[in-house]
């Protein structure tokens, strides 16, 4: 009688099919700093505080999650926009729109009820699939939003609703890049891009932003990256711009945008415009947001009709902060019809983005209008969120700039600051003995001492020999929050002087 075999081995000596040497070889190369080692340690402290509220033995009583732009998470507690939750709750329980309508009228304003009725008529149940591109009527309203924003036509058939902007970025990069293809990315950058490129076995081509010039973009730096890639035989296929910037908070001017578009035209490069922070603008008179599509369409006709552009937007940022709802969209400009078919095919593989995320996109692009019953409350809530974000950001940058060995470029928008730290030589040597980057050691020590979870600049990329941390400007109680950083920083600098 033969011995039963399992994976080629005798019974009892089973070898797992999934091992580090057998899984997709690209996966171990993927790094995602905002949810990496620091976030895991912060989670451990959160559990300890929860399980042992009186005898936890930690030098702090709460964890401040300053590592990720997640406005509504516990501890940051940004309140949802009332109109959004009213409409979505009606669609989640549509009996309130018919047999319990009289009850709904006692709770909801009439425009929320009418919006929910309209969406229910278009969508039906939010538990059903939609078209793979997303609900067509919502895509039409997205197109109208883009047309009103930019002054140029937008085709709903060139718009895809997505599970957040991240889903759209991954989808487009997956279609656009072969293994080994190069993608130009800003440094510092949001680690979604390096993580996705690693998974695709594509090549990140960094171009450095100038911290000395308010995190501005240098055209020459991009050209140098293109030239270096060519010398190394790397095909340059795409270029990523994050505007307003994450993690820098910088907003590009029109001249810099035109130079990027000109480069993409001359080098035949796909332009990917990450514009998810377009509503988070602090100084619109001096540094307004202008979309890449608007700039592209205003350039000479040959360029305007040639440069391939995909731009991304999301409900996770702005004033909505609906990160967990997973809603976003991208618009394709000047993409060949046969390629559009392939993008549609790949979108169809996942059937459709979440319906409540699609509804969020609808509420993002078509909010209450002046004269609507909900407009005053919507305006008050959104303006308050932006004003608080702006004031916290300014307070934090001023505080960081007052500290010895720390400097910070004030943000034009977005949700973050990225202060630079002049880490002492002894601390750098200590980090080596710990097997850590110096700014990772700083961030870990900060977390251990204060409960504040920031992200080391090395997780986003930085000029070699410089060290940073990225923190959000979302945290309430900013005076106490910055006070803890101030105390820790001074002690750290004195300890390692």
Chain CA centroid to CA 456, Å = 17
* Whole-number Å distance between alpha carbons of 274 and 165: 8
Token pair for 65:
């999650």
Rounded Cα gap, residues 187 and 210, in angstroms: 9
Alpha-carbon distance of 127 to 123, in angstroms, equals: 10
Decide: 162 and 328 in contact? Cβ < 8 Å.
yes
A 10 A CB-CB count for 227 gives 11
203-253: pLDDT as tens digits: 999 999 888 888 888 888 898 999 999 999 999 999 999 999 888 888 998
Q: What is the pLDDT of residues 11-43, one digit of tens each?
A: 667 777 767 776 676 777 766 655 677 888 888
Distance of CA 358 to the CA centre of its chain: 17
What values do phi and psi take at 456, rounded to 5?
-65, 145
Q: Which residue has the higher pLDDT, 9 or 99?
A: 99
Domains in the chain, ordered, with CATH? 27-78+386-495 (3.90.1150.10), 82-120 (1.10.287), 129-365 (3.40.640.10)
Q: Which of 2-6, 94-98, 208-212, 254-258 has the lowest mean pLDDT?
A: 2-6
Between CA 354 and CA 248 the distance in angstroms is 30
CA-wise closest residue to 218 among 194, 191, 241:
241
Q: Could you say which DSSP state residue 482 is in?
A: H
Helix (H) or strand (E) segment spanning residue 273: strand 270-274
Between 352 and 144, whose confidence is greater?
A: 144
pLDDT in tens, 476-495: 888 888 999 999 999 999 99
Q: pTM here?
A: 0.89
| Count of helices and strands (H, E) across the chain | 17, 17
Other beta carbons within 10 Å of 75: 15
| 403: nearest Cα among 497, 471, 482, 496 | 482
Classify 217 in phi/psi space as left (phi over 0), alpha (psi -120 to 50) or beta: beta
Task: Calculate mean pLDDT across residues 411-434.
Answer: 93
Radius of gyration over every alpha carbon of the chain, rounded to an integer in angstroms:
24
Q: 465 Cβ partners below 8 Å, 6+ apart?
A: none
pLDDT at 164 over 90: no
Q: Do 126 and 342 contact (CB within 8 A), yes or no?
A: no
Tell me the C-alpha distance between 112 and 441, whole Å. 49
Contact 242, 274 (CB under 8 A): yes
Report how far residue 60's alpha carbon sits from residue 450's, in angstroms, rounded to the nearest whole number. 6
pLDDT for residue 2 is more than 70: no
Q: Where does 212-273 have alpha helices with state H?
A: 219-231, 254-267
Query: What is the per-residue pLDDT for 142?
Result: 97
For the residues 43-63, what does the mean pLDDT come to?
Answer: 86
Rounded CA gap, 401 and 407, in Å? 5
| Residue 442, token pair as written in the block | 């700083």
Across the range 249-277, mean pLDDT stands at 92
Retrieve residue 296's tokens.
């592209």
């Amino acid at each position: 009688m033969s011995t039963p075999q399992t994976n080629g081995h005798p019974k009892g000596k089973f070898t797992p099919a999934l091992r580090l040497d057998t899984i997709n070889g690209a996966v171990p190369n993927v790094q995602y700093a905002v949810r990496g080692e620091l976030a895991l340690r912060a989670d451990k402290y959160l559990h300890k505080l929860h399980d042992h509220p009186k005898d936890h033995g930690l030098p702090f009583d709460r964890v401040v999650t300053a590592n990720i732009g997640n406005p509504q998470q516990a501890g940051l507690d940004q309140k949802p926009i009332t109109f959004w939750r009213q409409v979505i709750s009606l669609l989640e329980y549509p009996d309130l729109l018919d047999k319990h309508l009289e009850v709904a009228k006692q709770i909801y304003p009439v425009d929320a009820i009418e919006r929910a009725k309209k969406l229910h008529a278009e969508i039906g149940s939010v538990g059903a699939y939609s078209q793979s591109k997303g609900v067509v009527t919502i895509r039409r309203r997205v197109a109208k939003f883009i047309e009103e924003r930019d002054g140029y036509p937008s085709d709903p058939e060139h718009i895809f609703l997505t599970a957040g902007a991240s889903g759209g970025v991954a989808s487009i990069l997956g279609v656009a890049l072969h293994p080994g293809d190069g993608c130009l990315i800003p440094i510092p950058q949001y680690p979604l891009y390096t993580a996705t490129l690693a998974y695709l076995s594509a090549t990140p081509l960094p171009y450095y932003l100038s911290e000395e010039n308010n995190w501005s973009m240098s055209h020459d730096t991009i050209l140098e990256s293109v030239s270096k890639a060519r010398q190394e035989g790397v095909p340059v296929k795409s270029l990523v711009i994050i505007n307003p910037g994450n993690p820098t908070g910088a907003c590009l001017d029109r001249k810099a945008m035109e130079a990027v578009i000109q480069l993409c035209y001359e080098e035949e490069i796909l332009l990917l415009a990450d514009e998810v922070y377009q509503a988070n603008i602090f100084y619109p008179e001096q540094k307004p947001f202008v979309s890449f599509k608007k700039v592209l369409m205003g350039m000479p006709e040959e360029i305007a009709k040639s440069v391939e552009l995909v731009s991304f937007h999301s409900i996770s940022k702005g004033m909505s902060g609906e990160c967990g709802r997973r809603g976003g969209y991208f618009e394709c400009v000047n993409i060949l019809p046969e390629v559009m078919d392939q993008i549609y095919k790949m979108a169809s593989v996942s059937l459709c983005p979440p319906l409540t995320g699609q509804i969020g996109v609808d509420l993002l692009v078509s909010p209450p209008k002046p004269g609507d019953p909900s407009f005053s409350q919507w305006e008050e809530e959104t303006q308050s969120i932006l004003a608080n974000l702006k004031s916290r950001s300014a307070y934090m940058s001023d505080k960081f700039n007052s500290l010895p060995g720390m400097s910070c470029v004030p943000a034009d928008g977005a949700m973050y600051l990225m202060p630079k730290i002049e880490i002492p030589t002894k601390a750098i040597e200590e980090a080596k003995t710990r097997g850590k980057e110096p700014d990772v050691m700083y961030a870990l020590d900060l977390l251990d001492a204060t409960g504040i979870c920031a992200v080391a600049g090395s997780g986003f990329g930085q000029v070699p020999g410089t060290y940073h941390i990225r923190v959000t400007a979302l945290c309430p109680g900013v005076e106490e929050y910055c006070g803890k950083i101030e105390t820790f920083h001074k002690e750290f600098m004195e300890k390692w002087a």
